[in-house]
Every structure is written in C-alpha cells, then in structure tokens.
C-alpha cells in the first residue's frame, strides 16, 4: 500500500516537472501571410496574439475569426509536437510500475 502511495507521489512529481519543462517551450504560427501571429507555450497556453490593424475592420469579421481559429490550431499542433519531443527526451512516464491502477 505504501509503495503505491510512493509511486503516485512520484508520478505527481514527474507530472509537475513535465509541466514546468513544457512551460519553457514556446512555439508560434502565423496566418493570413503574417497578419495574425500566435505565440503559445508547451502547455498550450496562449502567450501572445497579434492581429494586424487592417484586419480589425468590421467588414472582415468572418475572415478574421476563421484566420484566428486556423492560426491557433496550427500553434496547438506545433506545441503538441514539441511537448511530445520533450516528453520523449525526458523519458516520459516510463519506468513507473503501477500494477493495480
């Protein structure tokens, strides 16, 4: 029983370390030829969003919304790839033997 508690604590500590490591990664993507830019960390938290003033016209609302969504999706994909690389380089959660869970 105590061994399982110890393993759970180790798992929690590893997850925290992984989260801290991922926070150090930044990725960015651009949409509409650089008129929209999104910067995100490895935990997929948006750190910055930049929109060219010319896109802020009311008549371009639908174009802007679509481009923002596409740019964020590109950034999320990049963040996921970088997170997977980081987890692989750190050994992920390998080595934890938790039978019964």
Q: What is the pLDDT of residue 97?
A: 46
Phi, psi of 51 (to 5 degrees): -125, 130
Q: Which CATH number fits domain 26-89: 1.10.10.2120, 3.30.1310.10, 3.40.250.10, 3.30.470.20?
A: 3.30.1310.10
Q: What is the pLDDT of residue 15?
A: 86
pLDDT above 50 (res 98): no
Give, for 27, the enclosing helix (H) or strand (E): strand 26-31
Give the span between the Cα atoms of 78 and 3, in whole angstroms. Answer: 37
pLDDT above 80 (res 56): yes
As a whole number, the mean pLDDT across the chain is 84
Q: State the pTM of this model.
A: 0.67
Strand ranges of the sheet holding 26-31, from the earlier edge strand across to the other edge: 26-31, 36-41, 46-51
């Amino acid at each position: 029983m105590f061994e399982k508690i110890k393993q759970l604590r180790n798992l929690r500590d590893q997850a925290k370390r992984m989260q801290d490591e991922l926070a150090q990664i930044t990725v960015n993507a651009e949409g509409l030829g650089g008129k929209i830019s999104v910067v995100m960390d490895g935990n997929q938290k948006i750190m910055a969003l930049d929109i060219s003033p010319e896109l802020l016209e009311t008549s371009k609302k639908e174009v802007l919304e679509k481009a923002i969504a596409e740019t964020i999706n590109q950034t999320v994909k990049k963040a996921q790839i970088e997170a997977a690389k980081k987890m692989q380089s750190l050994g992920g959660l390998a080595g934890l033997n938790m039978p019964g869970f």
